[in-house]
Amino acid sequence: MCLAIPAQVVEINGSDLAIVDLAGVRKEISLSLVDGVEPGDYVIVHVGYALQKLDAEEAERTLAMFAELASEYGAPRPGS
């Protein structure tokens, strides 16, 4: 099973690299597959690559569902 997660772009580094934030965890990813990404945008991230931009409302809903599942099953939350 593969999992792609929404993350918010914090910083753009060069033409195709960005720093994203997911619940306090920051990671450098490639933007080579997605055009027009700016700081503050949400992207779907899978194995270090942004696959597409995501509407902020949809990203927040998805992240809330992940947090609810983690809470329900006792899994540690990212950044905890």
Domain annotation covers residue 56: yes
Domain annotation covers residue 11: yes
Domain annotation covers residue 24: yes
- In this structure, what token pair is assigned to residue 20? 């994203």
Domain annotation covers residue 67: yes
CATH number at residue 35: 2.30.30.140
Does the pLDDT value for residue 67 go beyond 90? no
Domain annotation covers residue 79: no
Beta carbons of 32 and 49 less than 8 angstroms apart? yes
CA atoms within 13 A on the CB side of 54: 20
Apex CA 36: angle with CA 34 and CA 41, to 5°? 90
Domain annotation covers residue 80: no
What is the percent of the chain where pLDDT is above 70? Answer: 90
Q: Which domain holds residue 21?
A: 5-73
Q: State pLDDT tens for residues 4-17.
A: 889 999 999 988 99
Predicted model pTM:
0.81
Cα(76)–Cα(28) distance, rounded to whole angstroms?
22
Q: Determine the pLDDT at residue 77.
A: 55
Domain annotation covers residue 62: yes
Q: State pLDDT tens for residues 15-66.
A: 899 999 987 899 999 999 999 999 999 999 999 999 999 999 999 998 898 8
Split into its structural domains, the chain has a count of 1
